[in-house]
Amino acid sequence: MRIGMPHMGNLYIPFKALFQRLGVDFVIPPVNNQHTLSLGVKYSPEGLCIPFKLTLGNLIEAAELGADTLLVPGGSGICRLGYYVTIQEQILRDLGYNGEIISVGFSQHKLSGLLKTIKHLSNNAPWPKIISAFRFGLAKLNAMDRIERIVQKVRPVEEVKGTANQLFTKAINAIDKANDYAPLKKVQVDYINQLNQVTKDDIQPLIVGVVGEFYVLLEPFSNLDVESELGKLGVEVRRTTFISEWTKFTLFLNPLGVNEKKRIHKAALPYLKRDIGGDGWESVGEKVLHAKEYDGLIHLAPFTCMPEIVAQNIMPSTKEDIPVLTILCDEQIAKPGLSTRLEAFVDLLERKRRAHNN
Amino acid sequence: MIKVGIPRALLYYQYYPMWKTFFEEMGAEVVVSPPTTQTMVSEGSSRVVADTCLPVKVFCGHVLSLVEKCDYIFIPAVRSVKRRVYNCSKFLGLPDMTKAVIPESPPILDIDIDVNQGKRKLYHNIYKLGRHFTWNPFKVRQAAIAAWQSFLIYQRLMSCHRLTPPQAIAKMTGEIEPKAPSLTQTTIALIGHPYLLYDEHINHRLIHRLEQADNKILTPETLTKEELQSAIARLVGRAYWTYEDEIVGAGGHYLQSGADGVIGLMTFGCGPDSLMMDIVRRASKLGTTPFMSLTLEEHTSEAGVTTRLEAFLDMIHRRKRRQVKVCA
Amino acid sequence: MEAYLGIDVGSVTTKLAVLDKNDKLVTHIYLLTQGKPIEMVQQGLKQIKQQLPKDVNLRSVATTGSARYLAGVIVGADLVKNEITSHAVAALQYNPEAQTIIEIGGQDSKIIIVRDGIVTDFGMNTVCAAGTGSFLDHQALRLNMTIEEFAKRALDSDTPVRIAGRCTVFAESDMIHKQQMGHRTEDILYGLCQALVRNYLNNVGLGKEIKPPIVFQGGVAFNQAIVKALQEELNTEIIVPLHHEVMGAIGAALLAHERIADNNNGSKFKGFGVSEVKYHTSSFICKACPNQCEIAQISLNGQVLARWGGRCDIWERDPSSQKL
């Protein structure tokens, strides 16, 4: 059995670790690139969002590399995500793929469902082995996110632009290579030290929150790496959504009744009373909640994403008022256009802060 | 008398008789916005961000036309009417979104409809809605029962008597008797959301045009639940969206039987629509019944619709003619 | 001489074609519409009359194209047909084996799927113009060259540049970006051709089963660079019929002939004299309902011949057309 799955940021690293420990063959399709996108666009029905197109491209490329078991994110919800698997399966079959397609529904079965899927994929490995492999995967995930948070802080203030990103890439590779807890720990400590020692300018960076739909937030290719761009412009990016956080809560804490998003939802209530599917509720809530600490907000949404369109319509009406720049991510989005808009947005925030300080 | 405004858009076509009965039983007067006009579309569009889908823009136009004409506007947040089968986000966000983009709107009456939360919660929500009119829970209960009755009648008029929603509404409100379908040679099935099929403005009078050209029209509402369900089961297995009936179910059914051609209506930028139309399109490839989808948005020109329609009908007629020739 | 006339009035060009009783092309005319469809139809009639023998007997006339109703009223057409059917009929006349017909016109483009000589599916460009000829016209204008020069130079490209963007506006900004990065003009030109082909296939051709033989018609088929790009993208030979630019008109003429075969009524053709008459066009906003439809009307000597543009029937008096 050769397993393949779509990309989302560096999520393949913990999965690779997990499957390696279980002795399962795991294919990693090329990281998202123009070709992946073209493949996705070519075979997707019109009017679909970029997460669909990119993940479809990944699946096709994984199948080309010989994957015979494809994991497709699915599950029930209000957003169209849950329907992906139905169509992606038909498209893959039309292209001649005849392996297995497994829908991984995170939202319904939570931890037990995921573990059961892993058990099935690992050819019925014993539970202790699965749990230990799963824990190791999680450890890698946590290490990556811990480093990324520091990278977000260093990017705007580093003296030599690009240093943090270089260290980040190296760190990700090192985490990928680490084969046990001890080396993993060492990599983490090492790179956190290195990042802390980067020479920094003495400036007070602007703080911009990045909110929006889960996939485009976490897949830099889909948002043209907006976080690095903002970093280059001397802006510190704050993001609540991290895969490690999401995993921690969705898989472990939510079932126990702890809801990390309660604060966000409560903040959104005066403007949006209910969950509208996707991440629309959170987008509104984050704006309200963080209006005081952030200078501005970047709202990322896939083109045609209904929950985010509803959020976008509601956001201007909140009393808690900070500038919001909505960026619609699709295959049309081009770097020159995006940089211009980002620069203008940052200038606006800059001027606003200066006016406020005087 | 309290006046409750109901926008003639989106879920109106599915539930109007039920809503009307409920509010009238509660002692209110129901005001419905007039049929969609260009002014409504432009005014609605001006309130929301450009990427909002056309049906929501139209909805906003209808709400605007009700401003100052009623004391409340009824906008339910319908999440799910069948266990684990969901509605699009826009229906959930509609009450709050309307409030945000049309601040001058009369107070909005909203109600959460989500059968996944169980009957008790649903009843509770209905009582909560009724509180705006009465403190007497029995009166609310009675109104709800009467509303449900008229919903059943409405559905029966459509699926048993094969009436379209506007015809059925006309019959129930006693406006005009629906005309009997004339005998024609070609039968065209239309699939899509009721708010696209029956809004003559959005779809450039599609039904009228087809009838003028001597076609008999079939729609999703004229099918029974069983017919729809078996088609869905065949094409996708378990239904995921509420409106899968209107597209996958009806499309799957008509491609197999009853129609000479199937036309699907969808709006630009609607993800669910494009996914479901894709399933129907794939199914059409396996059979012989022609299928065409029309994508509607504000800038859809009438010429674009008529040209496609003419070509589609030509395709059906020429094919039929060829068959006749071959047989003879 | 017995003959059949087809008139195709598109947004960019006006085409006329005359066939004899054996469906052989007698003569054809190709004019730029220049936003004056009535004048161009009149001029076309005048020109084609000079090319026809004196004893010509036009037994049936059909109009097609986006201005088919207007043209139908002016000439007194026996049949008004949409351009998809016309193109399919014409393509099959010359290439009965064709399975796919690609038509790229000035402002809209089509794909027609044919199996066993019957149209089974078709598609038309939706809202945007990226998969149409106007996409190239626009970029050629931007690069300050004629479309002929554009096509010629594009063929000289050796390493085409990828131009992103489906929409004309986006493609333009990407093209400027590539120019500023110092790419060769030829490579950018061919990159634009590839972009058009890609956009066409991703938009109009989406989900269609494109099988050879493929016939490519419409004015854009003049552009050899596009033919090459299509061939490369579809990896098969592309057939460009000799009279590819007037196929719509030929199709209309064929349909006009077919109509006679079906029911041999006399023609409603108003004669070539039509080209001398002065038509008057005007428009007004209908106030009957809040829809504010813009009603266009065409009249001759103060008498209204036809009106259209309304969302309802009240203004439409158009007995000659078989309008839906």
Judge if A137 and A109 occupy the same domain. no
| Burial readout C275-302 (b: 16 or more C-beta within 10 A, e: otherwise) | beeebeeeeeebeebebebebbbbeeee
Task: Give the tokens for residue A146.
Answer: 């811990």
Residue B325 confidence (pLDDT): 62
Judge if A173 and A242 occupy the same domain. no
Please indicate whether, in this complex, the C-beta atoms of B51 and A304 are within 8 angstroms of each other: yes
Residue among C112, C119, C77 at smallest CA distance from C252: C77
Q: Does residue C164 sit at the A interface (CB-CB below 8 Å)?
A: yes
- ∠ CA B1-B7-B8, rounded to 5°: 120
Which residue in the block uniquely carries the two structure tokens 């001489």? C1
Query: A158 CA to chain C: closest CA distance, Å?
Result: 28
CA C318 distance to own-chain centroid: 23
CA dihedral of A225, A229, A230, A231, whole degrees rounded to 10:
100
Judge if A209 and A355 occupy the same domain. yes
Judge if A171 and A220 occupy the same domain. no
Mean pLDDT, chain A, as a whole number?
89
Question: Is the pLDDT confidence value at A294 over 80?
Answer: yes
Q: Where does the pLDDT of residue A343 fall: very low under 50, low under 70, confident under 90, or very high at 90 and above? A: confident
Residue B184 confidence (pLDDT): 64
Q: Which of A45, A280, A316 faces B93 most closely, judged by CB atoms?
A: A280
Cβ atoms A343, A53 nearer than 8 A? no
Judge if A196 and A210 occupy the same domain. no
Q: Give the count of Cβ contacts less than 8 A between chain A and B.
A: 118
Q: Does residue C66 sit at the B interface (CB-CB below 8 Å)?
A: yes
Residue among B66, B119, B58 at smallest CA distance from B90: B58
User: DSSP state, B180?
Assistant: P
Task: Give the tokens for residue B176.
Answer: 């005009």
Judge if A242 and A267 occupy the same domain. yes
Query: A303 CA to chain C: closest CA distance, Å?
Result: 14
Contacts of A312 in chain B (CB under 8 A): 49, 51
Pick the CATH number of C96-240 from 3.40.50.300, 2.60.120.650, 3.40.640.10, 3.30.420.40: 3.30.420.40
Please indicate whether, in this complex, the C-beta atoms of B89 and A277 are within 8 angstroms of each other: yes
What is the CATH number for A108? 3.40.50
Cβ atoms A74, B275 nearer than 8 A? no
Q: Does residue A46 sit at the C interface (CB-CB below 8 Å)?
A: yes
Please indicate whether, in this complex, the C-beta atoms of C202 and A334 are within 8 angstroms of each other: no
Residue C323 confidence (pLDDT): 40
* Domain extent listing, chain C: 2-87+248-275, 96-240, 278-324
Q: Where does the pLDDT of residue A76 fall: very low under 50, low under 70, confident under 90, or very high at 90 and above? A: low
Name, in order, each residue with C-beta under 8 angstroms of C181's C-beta and a sequence gap of 6 or more: none
Distance CA C109, CA B199 (A): 28
Q: Where does the pLDDT of residue A79 fall: very low under 50, low under 70, confident under 90, or very high at 90 and above? A: low
- As for how many domains chain A has, the answer is 3
DSSP codes joined into one string, B203-236: TTSHHHHHHHTTEEEE-GGGS-HHHHHHHHHHHT
Residue A245 confidence (pLDDT): 85
> Half-sphere exposure (CA, 13 Å, Cβ side) for B157?
21
Mean pLDDT value of segment A111-126:
86
Judge if A49 and A81 occupy the same domain. yes
Query: B318 CA to chain C: closest CA distance, Å?
Result: 8
Out of A170, A202, A234, a domain closes at A202
Judge if A195 and A251 occupy the same domain. no
Judge if A103 and A211 occupy the same domain. no
Residue among B305, A182, B61 at smallest CA distance from C126: B305
Distance CA A97, CA A91 (A): 9
Residue C166 confidence (pLDDT): 62
Ordered mean pLDDT values, 10 residues apiece, chain C (324 residues): 92 92 93 87 92 90 90 90 91 93 86 86 72 82 87 90 72 81 90 88 82 92 93 93 93 92 80 84 80 79 78 57 40
Q: Does residue A314 sit at the B interface (CB-CB below 8 Å)?
A: yes
Contacts of A280 in chain B (CB under 8 A): 89, 93
Question: Is the pLDDT confidence value at B303 over 60?
Answer: yes
Judge if A113 and A150 occupy the same domain. no
> Poorest-confidence range of B26-35, B86-95, C89-98?
B86-95
Please indicate whether, in this complex, the C-beta atoms of C124 and B306 are within 8 angstroms of each other: no
Which strand ranges, in their side-by-side order, compose the sheet holding C100-104?
A: C118-124, C109-115, C100-104, C214-217, C238-239
**All partners of chain A with 3 or more CB pairs under 8 angstroms:** B, C
> In one letter, which amino acid is B145?
I
Residue C173 confidence (pLDDT): 78
Please indicate whether, in this complex, the C-beta atoms of C122 and B315 are within 8 angstroms of each other: yes
Which strand ranges, in their side-by-side order, compose the sheet holding A296-302?
A: A235-238, A206-212, A296-302, A324-329
Residue among B23, B228, B222 at smallest CA distance from B129: B23
Please indicate whether, in this complex, the C-beta atoms of A332 and C207 are within 8 angstroms of each other: no
Judge if A139 and A229 occupy the same domain. no
Q: Does residue A188 sit at the B interface (CB-CB below 8 Å)?
A: no
Residue C168 confidence (pLDDT): 67
Selected for mutation to probe chain A from C178, C206, C208 (highest A CB count within 10 Å) is C206
Distance CA B244, CA B249 (A): 6
Name, in order, each residue with C-beta under 8 angstroms of B294's C-beta and a sequence gap of 6 or more: B203, B206, B263, B264, B265, B266, B305, B308, B309
Domains located in chain B, CATH noted: 3-154 (3.40.50), 181-327 (3.40.50.11900)
> In one letter, which amino acid is B296?
L
**All partners of chain C with 3 or more CB pairs under 8 angstroms:** A, B
Q: Which of A273, A304, A313 faces B101 most closely, judged by CB atoms?
A: A313
Distance CA B114, CA B78 (A): 7
Q: 3-class SS at C121?
A: strand
- Hey, do C2-87+248-275 and C96-240 end up sharing a CATH topology, with the first three levels equal? yes
What string of H, E and C letters represents the secondary structure of A128-183?
A: HHHHHHHHHHHHHHHHHHHHHHHHHHHCCCECCCCHHHHHHHHHHHHHHHCCCHHH
What ipTM does this complex have? 0.89
Q: Does residue A67 sit at the B interface (CB-CB below 8 Å)?
A: no
Assigned CATH topology for domain C2-87+248-275 = Nucleotidyltransferase; domain 5 (3.30.420)
Question: Is the pLDDT confidence value at A106 over 80?
Answer: no
The helices-and-strands tally (H runs, E runs) of chain C is 9, 13
pLDDT by residue (tens digit) across B222-242?
888 889 989 988 888 777 777
Contacts of C107 in chain B (CB under 8 A): none
Name, in order, each residue with C-beta under 8 angstroms of C210's C-beta and a sequence gap of 6 or more: C100, C111, C113, C201, C234
Contacts of A41 in chain C (CB under 8 A): 202
Distance CA C59, CA C53 (A): 15
Residue A162 belongs to domain spanning: 131-154+158-202
Q: 3-class SS at A334?
A: coil
Residue C37 confidence (pLDDT): 87
Selected for mutation to probe chain A from C124, C166, C181, C234 (highest A CB count within 10 Å) is C166
User: DSSP state, B241?
Assistant: B
Task: Give the tokens for residue B67.
Answer: 């401003």
Judge if A244 and A213 occupy the same domain. yes
Q: Which of A256-265, A311-320, C266-275 has the highest mean pLDDT?
A: A311-320
pTM equals 0.85
pLDDT by residue (tens digit) across B165-196?
988 998 888 776 556 555 667 899 999 999 99
pLDDT by residue (tens digit) across A154-181?
999 999 989 999 999 999 999 999 999 9
Cβ atoms B220, B195 nearer than 8 A? no
Residue B4 confidence (pLDDT): 96
Contacts of C164 in chain A (CB under 8 A): 331-332, 334
What is the CATH number for A340? 3.40.50.11900
CA dihedral of B280, B281, B282, B285, whole degrees rounded to 10:
120
Distance CA B85, CA B248 (A): 14
Please indicate whether, in this complex, the C-beta atoms of B311 and C312 are within 8 angstroms of each other: no
Q: Does residue C169 sit at the A interface (CB-CB below 8 Å)?
A: no
Residue C64 confidence (pLDDT): 93
Query: B174 CA to chain A: closest CA distance, Å?
Result: 37
pLDDT by residue (tens digit) across A14-44?
999 999 999 999 999 999 998 999 899 888 8
Distance CA B231, CA B237 (A): 9
Q: Which residue of B has its CA nearest to A52?
A: B271
Residue C318 confidence (pLDDT): 46
Q: Which residue has the higher pLDDT, B25 or A83?
A: B25
Q: Does residue C83 sit at the B interface (CB-CB below 8 Å)?
A: yes
Q: Does residue B325 sit at the C interface (CB-CB below 8 Å)?
A: no
Contacts of B271 in chain A (CB under 8 A): 47-49, 52, 80, 304-306
